């Protein structure tokens, strides 16, 4: 019998529509795995009973025509879910139950997908290893000589959950690489859509001008299907884009002939491991051998991207997180007066990394420093956008590695924030320029760890991105090597 939890999202739905299995059976298969997977610590909240009853209800439906019918889906714990705890993996929201549903998750449930839980992440999505979560580390299903590895971050719970078949697909958020880097570390597909493609309404905000929700899936077609469902204009989000209804999955084409692929020289960073450099060359070769035109390009301001990001993102975060003050909802630590209550609440409610970024953000916005930091960063951000605009005059997509290294061990970068921030070096530019980018697993290194390539696309041209990724996916034939070692 088919192991239902091993099916891709597209296959699962086909199974249900063709009545090869019921929604209850599909959900049951996932729940069985979830119940044995606490060691991975992917879930902040499980919603298994509700998932069961919703599956049963779907099974009684005459028509099974909804796009995601019966698909069990856990989402990052940054998406507000009505009646289900939403914590942003922070102590300060540890008791917060929204009375409303985020636009993108609402779209999932409208297509008869079934919520099975909320997934762990870095606190307020600030981190690259999931180690800043208030609810403990998430383990990567892949290990290095039996030693545990980080799943990446901030959407670490999402990445591990997809890789370990604990959810048929998921949505994460990506502010500087939070979808793509963990996808790369766990051998799954992660897509950050164009800024404005998906509504941000109901997503706990980190950095409003950079945040974007996107799919994390077992393969490229699943990503296309998920994007079809979650994208679209939302009048409740003033930054969402008015674009016609997409059909990425139906339009997907496996062809790269004549495709112009840019290879940016600035991404060839010092000390890049040979395996990553080789991986990049392999990717180039596949495309070239199949009729794509490879072009060397320059994105000259790339070297400023990381510092720019680490000014703009904390600046916005310092303001976005001001609402968590113990007054209205969430965690409160009492004090003798209002100021002391604020101080107690926020020093106890936020973790170290979040406080670090609030302080950086507060500093760069302060009078006397604003021009030198925030304003300058905005100017550089604009230059980075112009770099891409210029590049896209000559190429259709840009190919780079997703990360400079494969997954690393716990604690490796914890004491060195700068080293940790370097994880985002290849991914932040897409956020700064608002462009779509996808991370795609390619192969395993000699230690059996997944390595991934990243494709940048033109603004709102996710289709070319998906087409190219789909083609490479078929060529490399990457298969999961997850061994369920954590199950007892």
Partner 1 sequence: MSDKEFNYYISGETGKWEVVIGLEVHAQVSSNAKLFSSSSTKFGSEPNSQVSLIDAAMPGMLPVINKFCVEQAVRTGLGLKAKINLLSVFDRKNYFYADLPQGYQISQFKHPIVGEGEVILDMPYGTKKIGIERLHLEQDAGKSLHDQDPTKTFIDLNRSGVALMEIVSKPDLRSPEEVAEYIKKLRSIMRYLGTCDGNMEEGSLRADVNVSVRKIGSKEFGTRCEIKNVNSIKFMQQAIQYEAKRQVELLEDGKKIDQETRLFDTKNNETRQMRSKEDAHDYRYFPDPDLPPLKFEQTFVDQIKKKLPELPDDKKERLIKDYKLSNYEAGVLISDKDTSDYFEDVAKNSDVKLAINWVIGDLFAALNKIGKSIKESPISSKNLSKLIQLIKNNTISGRIAKEVFELMINDNRDPKVIVEEKGLVQESNVDELEKIIEKVLKDNSEKVAEYKSGKDKLFGFFVGSVIKESKGKANPALVNDILKKKLS
| DSSP-derived pairing of the beta strands 43-46 and 114-119 | antiparallel
- If the CB atoms of residues 102 and 121 are measured against partner 1, the closer one turns out to be 102
Q: In angstroms, rounded to a whole number, what is the distance separating the alpha carbons of residues 222 and 170?
A: 10
Q: Please report, for residues 39, 91, 112, 142, 357, the alpha-carbon distance to residue 94 in angstroms, rounded to integers and kept in the order given.
A: 21, 5, 28, 29, 20
Catalytic status, residue 129: no
Distance of CA 439 to the CA centre of its chain: 10
The CB-of-79 to partner 1 minimum distance in angstroms stands at 8
Tokens of 96: 């917060």
- If the CB atoms of residues 7 and 213 are measured against partner 1, the closer one turns out to be 213
SS3 assignment, position 119: strand
The CB-of-354 to partner 1 minimum distance in angstroms stands at 14
Which positions from 292 to 331 touch partner 1 by CB under 8 A, shown as an x/- string?
Answer: -----------------------xx-xx-xxx-x-xxx--
The CB-of-316 to partner 1 minimum distance in angstroms stands at 5
Give strand pairing partners of 457. Answer: 397
Residue 359 binds to partner 1 (criterion: CB under 8 A): no
Q: In angstroms, rounded to a whole number, what is the distance separating the alpha carbons of residues 433 and 194?
A: 9
Q: In angstroms, rounded to a whole number, what is the distance separating the alpha carbons of residues 162 and 187?
A: 9
Which positions from 205 to 244 touch partner 1 by CB under 8 A, shown as an x/- string?
Answer: x-xxx-------------------------xxxxx-----
Q: Please report, for residues 105, 149, 262, 330, the alpha-carbon distance to residue 451 in angstroms, rounded to integers and kept in the order given.
A: 29, 14, 20, 39
Is residue 409 within 8 A of residue 291, CB to CB? The reply is no
Contacts of residue 443, Cβ cutoff 8 Å, sequence gap at least 6: 279, 282, 450, 451, 476, 478
- If the CB atoms of residues 81 and 160 are measured against partner 1, the closer one turns out to be 81
- If the CB atoms of residues 114 and 321 are measured against partner 1, the closer one turns out to be 321
Catalytic residue, candidates 178, 199, 439, 480 = 178
- If the CB atoms of residues 210 and 276 are measured against partner 1, the closer one turns out to be 210
* DSSP category for residue 123: G
Which positions from 55 to 94 touch partner 1 by CB under 8 A, shown as an x/- string?
Answer: -------------------------x-----x-x----x-
Residue 46 binds to partner 1 (criterion: CB under 8 A): no
Q: In angstroms, rounded to a whole number, what is the distance separating the alpha carbons of residues 48 and 51?
A: 5
Catalytic status, residue 76: yes
Residue 344 binds to partner 1 (criterion: CB under 8 A): no
Residue 254 binds to partner 1 (criterion: CB under 8 A): no
Catalytic residues: 76, 154, 178
Residues that bind partner 1 (CB under 8 A): 80, 86, 88, 93, 96, 98-100, 102, 200-205, 207-209, 235-239, 315-316, 318-319, 321-323, 325, 327-329, 338, 342, 362, 365-367, 370, 374
């Amino acid at each position: 019998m088919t192991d239902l939890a091993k099916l891709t999202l597209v296959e699962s739905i086909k199974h249900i529509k063709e009545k090869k299995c019921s929604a209850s059976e599909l959900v049951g298969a996932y729940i069985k795995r979830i119940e044995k997977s606490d060691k991975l610590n992917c879930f902040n909240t499980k919603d298994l009973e509700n998932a069961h009853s919703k599956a049963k209800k779907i099974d009684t439906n005459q028509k099974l025509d909804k796009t995601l019918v019966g698909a069990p889906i856990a989402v990052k714990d940054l998406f507000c879910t009505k009646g289900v705890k939403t914590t942003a993996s922070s102590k300060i929201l540890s008791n917060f139950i929204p009375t409303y549903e985020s636009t993108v998750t609402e779209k999932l449930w409208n297509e008869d997908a079934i919520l099975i839980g909320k997934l762990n992440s870095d606190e307020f999505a600030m981190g690259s290893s999931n180690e800043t979560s208030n609810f403990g580390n998430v383990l990567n299903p892949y290990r290095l000589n039996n030693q545990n590895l980080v799943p990446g971050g901030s959407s670490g719970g999402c990445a591990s959950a997809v890789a370990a078949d604990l959810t048929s697909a998921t949505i994460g958020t990506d502010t500087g690489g939070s979808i793509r880097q963990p996808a790369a570390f766990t051998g799954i597909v992660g897509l950050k859509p164009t800024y404005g493609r998906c509504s941000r309404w109901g997503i706990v905000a980190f950095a409003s001008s950079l945040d974007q929700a996107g799919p994390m899936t077992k393969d490229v077609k699943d990503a296309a299907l998920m994007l079809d469902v979650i994208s679209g204009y939302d009048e409740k989000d003033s930054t969402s884009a008015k674009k016609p209804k997409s059909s990425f999955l139906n339009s997907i084409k496996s062809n790269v002939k004549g495709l112009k692929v840019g290879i940016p020289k600035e991404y060839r960073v010092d000390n890049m491991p040979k395996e990553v450099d080789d991986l990049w060359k392999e990717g180039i070769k596949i495309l070239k051998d199949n009729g794509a035109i490879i072009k060397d390009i320059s994105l000259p301001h790339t070297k400023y991207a990381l510092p720019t990001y680490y000014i703009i993102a904390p600046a916005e975060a310092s303001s976005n997180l001001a609402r968590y003050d113990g007054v209205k909802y969430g965690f409160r630590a009492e004090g003798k007066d209002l100021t002391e209550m604020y101080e107690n609440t926020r020093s106890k409610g936020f973790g170290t990394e979040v406080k670090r970024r609030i302080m950086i953000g507060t500093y760069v916005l302060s009078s006397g420093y604003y021009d030198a930091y925030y304003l300058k960063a905005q100017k550089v951000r604009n230059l980075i956008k112009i770099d891409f605009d210029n590049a896209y005059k000559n190429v259709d997509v840009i190919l780079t590695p997703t990360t400079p290294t494969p997954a690393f061990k716990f604690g490796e970068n914890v004491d060195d924030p700068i080293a940790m921030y370097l994880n985002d070096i290849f991914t932040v530019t897409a956020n700064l320029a608002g462009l779509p980018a996808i991370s795609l697993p390619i192969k395993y290194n000699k230690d059996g760890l997944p390595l991934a390539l990243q494709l940048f696309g033109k603004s709102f041209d996710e289709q070319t991105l998906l087409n190219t990724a789909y083609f490479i996916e078929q060529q490399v034939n990457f298969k999961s090597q997850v061994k369920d070692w954590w199950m007892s």
